[in-house]
Structure formats: C-alpha cells, structure tokens
Structure 1
C-alpha cells in the first residue's frame, strides 16, 4: 500500500484484511514509497502502522525502488506462496522486480491529473522466486466488495476484537446499540482503534442492506 500516489484509505486496507481473516490467510500490511513522504506523510504512515500493529499485523515500510529494502521483502516472501494486492500504481510489480530483477515486470506511472495508477498488470500471474517460494502479481482494484458474511460472524474477522467478544452482556451482541457491549466500551476507552470500529459498522450496514 502507498500513503500517497495513490492514496490508500484505512477502509480499503481493512476490507482486504477482513477477507484474509475470513479465509485464514496470514497477512502483512506492506507500505511502499516511503521515500516520497514529507513530514505529514510520515506522520500518517506512523498512524497507520500503529493501528495495524495493534491489530496484530506486521507493518514494514519500504521503497521498492531502493535495493536496500530487498532483503526486508525477501524475508517476508521466502518459502511461501504470496499474493500482492493493492491499488493500481501502489508498486506491486515494482516490489517483485526489487526482489527478482530478472523478471523485469512492466510498471506503470501515476497520472498527474487523477492521482491514480495506470494499470499495467491485467491478470493475476504467479512467478517462481529464486530464493524459494512463489509470488502472485495481481491487477490493482479500487474497492473490495464483501459478500456472504453473517452479521454475527463479522466481528470475529477483526482480530483485535476477539479478546472482548465473550465479555459482552449478551451472547448475540453485534456491538452496535446493545447495553453492556464490551467492544463499544473498549473503543470509547481507546483500547480498540476507532477507525476499525467505523469500518466494522459500515460493513455491518452493508450486510443488512444486502440481505445476505
């Protein structure tokens, strides 16, 4: 993910992570383009890292155009099957080129007009890694649509909420307006990230509207 060029929102990252949790896929929140960040951008990066570290995710930050970060990425990928996802222009193909330069994947540029990446990867493709493992490059996408989730199970896909779930007054609590909700109490006390709770409420609303 990139903090800027293109901008990545917390909600976008949350939806990807929730999908990983639902399908038991270990996730890493990898931030790219740190070399392009000014003071405000570095502050935003630190805020993002604090949120996702609190949720239990590794949050390394790199510049995929700087060979000095190659070993950091190789350690994440070695002997695994990894899938890179994110917005167009965030540097997925550039990151693969960083650790496996011989692949020489085509990379795109950010549009100065829209601030969005130009898509160069048009289908998912898997590559062997010379140091062990495989990596899948994917086309960038704007939004992540959540489907086939039940209201009662959604909170289980937020790992930071799990320690509180058995502390709610009601066993069928969905953490919206119920009295004695441990999740709401933890958010109000700053023990859980407010942004993640708002993502949860938004997704819960989508599930209700969809009728799934």
Structure 2
C-alpha cells in the first residue's frame, strides 16, 4: 500500500496524490457501512491495481480538522477573502466567517482584495475596524500586485481553505499566485453587483512552492445555532478580552450595568461595527432558542 492525500472527489471516485502520481480510487465498502465518507484533504493508504493503475482506499488516517461546509479535512488555516469594492464588503458576513474559523480552531487570515479600487481613506476606515481583533490582515490587488507575495508566504507549506462570497476575487488571487492553476474567474453581475459562482466543487490544489489550497464555492450565509448566548463573546477576541473587566461574570454586553465592553466601544478599543454585529448575532441566537 502507498500513502497519499485526496485532492478531489467526484461521484464516488477519489483522486489521490502520491509520490508515484495521482491515482483514481474507490473507497472500500466498509467505509459506507461504518458511515465514513472520505474527504478532500484526507491522508489515506491505497492499494493499487497494477493492471489498470486504479486503486482502493484502504485506510483513512486520523483527521486534525474536519469542515462540514466546505467538506474538507486537515485544513491548517482559513483565508477569508472580501473585496473592498465590486462587490462592497459585507462585514456582517465577514464576522460570520471569522466565527466559523474560531469554532474549527483554524488560524484565520483576512484578505481585503481589490484595494486598487478604493481611496486610502476608505481603506484606513476598514482596517481600523479590525485592528484590535488579533487577526492578520493582508491587503491585495491583482492589478497592482500588492500583497501577492505576502499571501504566497502565508500559504507556503500549509493546507488552506479559501473562503468568501462569490465575486471577491478568490480564483483571481490563486491564479496570480500560481498561474498554472488557470482557474475560471467570474464577472460581477451588473444588476445585482454580486459575483457569479465559478467554483462548483471543492478540490485540493497543490502549490509549486509548497502546500495546498481548497478553492470553494462562494457562501451566502453561515448558521450560528451551535453557539450559546453566554459563549458568543469567545468568538470575538477583542470583546472576550475586555469582558474580563465587566462588573458581572455573566455580562452579555447588551443592557447590563458596569459593562466594560460597552465602555471600550465608546473609547474606540472595540470598533462600533464589530460590536453591532455581536449584538445582531446575540439577538439571532436568542430568537433561535425560542423555537
């Protein structure tokens, strides 16, 4: 048997990258009986058929991480891409992506793309919102090439999931970093100013300088039902830090007196936009608990 990593799966067939090349494989029937589905990113052992050069996946090694949407295993970090114009950034959605990364214990990197389309003042305004969150931020443009080398360094020797709405330039960035990928890119709908989906399924793309990336379909929403009200602050690092100095241990940072988080918002330590998204998510979670 030889070891490899699943780089793509279509219709019950899995393509496994090994030191001897890429092989088309089927999964053992035992996995189906045990309700185990091989995932892109799985490290596996395969048994090869020398006659037709196909194989069977015999063993799936233990997963370090497992994402449900997109379905991919063993990711080290999430590259969350949002454009600053065309389409405009939806920070409410960006914060939901960050929450999912926190939940999956992924190292999240925020990429603000298409910076060549906005003024310096607008860029400074957006960056200030996230300056105290602790997340690494990379500013990129495929036109001016700014930030491309920084992003390349972040991707090197990691397994990274690219996530973000359609039309923000995920595929264009990947093509700039690794031209041989030749990924299809989509135009922005003139009517809706939203991106057209270009990526139809998840696949693991090998980078020539080391590492893999998963180019995924764009998402429109993320479910927060897994969060309890009292735990929401954990997913906002800057709010969680300031909450240590609230008057009450169970402070929800909404209407409670002696709330250090609200004080920090007034003082500018926590951005008003992030705090308002926190309150929006808190309300959403409360409503979901009623049903």
The TM-score with structure 2 as length reference comes to 0.68
> Does residue 91 of structure 2 align to residue 10 of structure 1?
yes
Q: 1:87 to 1:63 in 2, by over 3 A?
A: same
1:19 counterpart residue number: 100
Which 4+ runs in 1 deviate beyond 4 A? 65-69
- Secondary structure at 1:59 match in 2: strand
> Does residue 274 of structure 2 align to residue 196 of structure 1?
yes
1:163 deviation in Å?
2.2
Pick the aligned partner of 1:177 from 249, 252, 255: 255
1:34 deviation in Å?
1.6
- Looking at secondary structure, tell me which structure has more helix per residue: 1
Residues 40-76 of structure 1 show CA distances to partners (whole Å, capped at 9, x for unaligned) of xx42222111221221112211112455643222111
Q: How many residues align?
A: 209
Q: Distance in 2 between matches of 1:68 and 1:14?
A: 24
1:128 deviation in Å?
1.0
The TM-score with structure 1 as length reference comes to 0.92
More displaced 10-residue stretch of structure 1: 156-165 or 97-106: 156-165
Residues 176-207 of structure 1 show CA distances to partners (whole Å, capped at 9, x for unaligned) of 11111111111122221111111110000011
Q: Distance in 2 between matches of 1:9 and 1:104?
A: 28
2:173 counterpart residue number: 95
Unaligned runs of 5+ in 2: 1-81
Q: Distance in 2 between matches of 1:183 and 1:36?
A: 34
Residues 149-181 of structure 1 show CA distances to partners (whole Å, capped at 9, x for unaligned) of 000100011111222222111111111111111
Larger Rg: 2
2:53 counterpart residue number: none
2:150 counterpart residue number: 72
Q: Distance in 2 between matches of 1:13 and 1:106?
A: 23
Maintained 8 Å contact 2:141/2:148: no
- Secondary structure at 2:141 match in 1: coil
How do 1:60-209 and structure 2 match up within 5 A? Answer: 60-67=138-145, 69-209=147-287
Query: Over aligned residues, Cα RMSD in angstroms?
Result: 1.6
Maintained 8 Å contact 1:83/1:138: yes
Maintained 8 Å contact 1:65/1:94: no
Pick the aligned partner of 2:117 from 28, 36, 40: 36
Unaligned runs of 5+ in 1: none
- Looking at secondary structure, tell me which structure has more strand per residue: 2
Maintained 8 Å contact 2:138/2:147: no
